[in-house]
């Protein structure tokens, strides 16, 4: 009798084990299988929220077939504790495994409402945009220049979105802005805190896009900009061409800043850099207007007019029509393309360049000799005269 009971018990245990294994296997299959979501959604995970709460939210929006399986899967893979607050784009048919990876990864926002503060050479703008999950493209909600006219309505809309739960913030620094312009731009970002006591060294803040949060410190963001730029400078200097007419990476940054201010066209930066490198090798003065402008403005804003003859003749450290070689410091914060151009200029014999047309986007025409350059300048002057007659 006891042998029969033991046999039946063992059989039952085996059956239960097989059933459990089947359930576990089914759960794993459900966890990695294509999900039921018909269209992409933007999932907001609030600070302090748990994986259980996220799972229930996803279930209510038709993104998962079983919130329990998602929670167990996250626990089993030791990712529940990595849940990040933010806004995350969940694609259609995303599996529970993919969803867990999205909400426990870098924490970078991939959807939702975003306020973008743009610090450019000629202006500062505030843009509020929202990612459309269906098209994965941003839709602009409002954009304005805080210093412009008739901005009260736009300002009110901005403040409404700014104070909305889940709004994310981004600062975009354009190539070629000065350190003073960056600091002034950050002062106007009203979601940040902290005073900036000193303008950072020119040329050593990285033009880039930076995600920030309410209450972030301006000084800490500037430190991040410095660290990012130092990495870029070091990499460009490590990969530099041989026989450059300067010996330090600091001089390379100076030249990169001049290249940055002379052209906004990435494809011709190497040629522009070659002109200045060739001039340095020939012992010629650089004769570039942006350095003179920097000497006049000290990098504090835009000149807003043409250079005067007296300014072109003035003797100062930044007037490259008067001094030999490079100015003492950079004149702006160069981007990666300009740094690459300064450390690996194009191989040309060009010594001169002038604008190709009245549209800066058309770039420049280059010349190897002064007579050729004079012809190019004359052609540009004719365009100016024709434009003046047309007005």
* pTM beyond 0.85: no
Confidence of residue 5 (pLDDT cuts 50, 70, 90): very low
By the 8 A CB rule, do 84 and 101 touch?
no
d(CA 381, CA 391): 16
By the 8 A CB rule, do 27 and 69 touch?
yes
* Residue 146, pLDDT above cutoff 80: yes
By the 8 A CB rule, do 197 and 236 touch?
no
pLDDT mean over 300-311: 90
Neighbours of 83 (CB within 10 A): 19
> Which residue in this structure is represented by tokens 């992409």?
40
Which carries the bigger pLDDT value, residue 250 or residue 76?
250
Q: Is 109 exposed, middle or buried (0-12, 13-18, 19+ CB in 10 A)?
A: buried
d(CA 67, CA 75): 12
Between strands 113-119 and 124-132, the pairing is antiparallel
- Cα 13 to Cα 20, 53, 61, 74, 97, distances in angstroms: 10, 35, 39, 29, 31
Alpha helices in 163-268 (DSSP H): 179-187, 218-238, 249-262
Q: Which strand (E) or helix (H) includes residue 51?
A: helix 51-60
Question: In order of start, what are the domains of the chain with their CATH numbers?
Answer: 16-103 (3.30.1490.480), 113-233 (no CATH), 241-390 (no CATH)
* Residue 10, pLDDT above cutoff 70: no
Residue 3: predicted pLDDT: 52
Query: Which contacts qualify for 380-387: CB closer than 8 Å, 24 or more apart?
Result: 380/354, 380/355, 380/356, 383/357, 383/358, 384/358, 387/358
Residue 129: predicted pLDDT: 93
What does pLDDT average to over the chain? Answer: 89
Confidence of residue 308 (pLDDT cuts 50, 70, 90): very high
Confidence of residue 258 (pLDDT cuts 50, 70, 90): very high
pLDDT digits (tens, 9 = 90+) for 329-369: 999 999 999 999 999 999 999 999 999 988 888 899 999 99
Residue 46: predicted pLDDT: 82
By the 8 A CB rule, do 274 and 348 touch?
yes
Q: Is 9 exposed, middle or buried (0-12, 13-18, 19+ CB in 10 A)?
A: exposed
For residue 276, the cross-strand partners are none
Residue 15: predicted pLDDT: 55
Which carries the bigger pLDDT value, residue 236 or residue 165?
236
d(CA 377, CA 269): 20
- Cα 337 to Cα 71, 205, 242, 257, distances in angstroms: 46, 15, 18, 11
Residue 13: predicted pLDDT: 55
Among residues of the chain, what percentage have pLDDT more than 90? 58
3 state SS of 337: helix
Which carries the bigger pLDDT value, residue 8 or residue 292?
292
Nearest CA among 253, 218, 226, 223 for reference residue 237: 253
* Residue 48, pLDDT above cutoff 60: yes
């Amino acid at each position: 009798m006891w042998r029969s009971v033991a046999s039946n018990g063992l059989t039952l245990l085996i059956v239960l084990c097989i059933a459990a294994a089947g359930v576990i296997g089914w759960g794993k299959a459900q966890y990695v299988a294509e999900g039921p979501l018909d269209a992409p959604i933007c999932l907001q995970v609030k600070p302090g929220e748990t994986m259980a709460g996220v799972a229930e939210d996803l279930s209510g929006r038709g993104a998962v077939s079983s919130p329990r399986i998602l929670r167990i899967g996250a626990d089993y893979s030791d990712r529940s504790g990595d849940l990040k607050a933010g806004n995350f784009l969940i694609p259609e048919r995303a599996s529970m495994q993919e969803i867990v990876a999205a909400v426990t990864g870098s924490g970078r926002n991939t959807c939702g409402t975003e306020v973008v503060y743009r610090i450019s050479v000629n202006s500062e703008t505030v843009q509020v945009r929202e990612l459309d999950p269906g098209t994965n493209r941003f839709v602009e909600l409002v954009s304005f220049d805080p210093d412009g006219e008739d901005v009260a309505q736009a300002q009110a809309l901005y403040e409404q979105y700014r104070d909305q739960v889940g709004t994310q913030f981004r600062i975009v620094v354009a190539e070629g802005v000065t350190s003073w312009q960056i600091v002034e731009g950050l002062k106007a970002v009203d979601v940040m805190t902290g005073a900036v006591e000193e303008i950072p060294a020119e040329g050593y803040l990285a033009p880039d896009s930076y995600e920030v949060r309410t209450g972030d410190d301006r000084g800490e963001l500037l430190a991040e900009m410095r660290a990012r730029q130092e990495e870029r400078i070091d990499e460009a200097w490590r990969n530099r061409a041989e026989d450059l007419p300067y010996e330090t990476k600091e001089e390379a940054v100076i030249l990169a800043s001049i290249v940055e201010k002379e052209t906004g066209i990435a494809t011709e930066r190497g040629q522009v850099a070659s002109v200045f490198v060739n001039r340095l090798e020939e012992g010629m003065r650089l004769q570039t207007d942006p350095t003179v402008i920097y000497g006049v403005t000290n990098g504090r804003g835009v000149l807003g007019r043409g250079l005067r003859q007296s300014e072109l003749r003035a003797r100062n450290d930044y007037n490259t029509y008067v001094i030999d070689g490079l100015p003492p410091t950079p004149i702006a914060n160069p981007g990666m393309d300009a740094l690459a151009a300064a450390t690996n200029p194009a191989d040309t014999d060009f010594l001169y360049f002038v604008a190709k047309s009245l549209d800066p986007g058309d770039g420049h025409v280059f010349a190897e000799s002064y007579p050729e350059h004079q012809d190019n300048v004359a052609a540009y002057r004719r365009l100016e005269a024709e434009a003046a007659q047309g007005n």
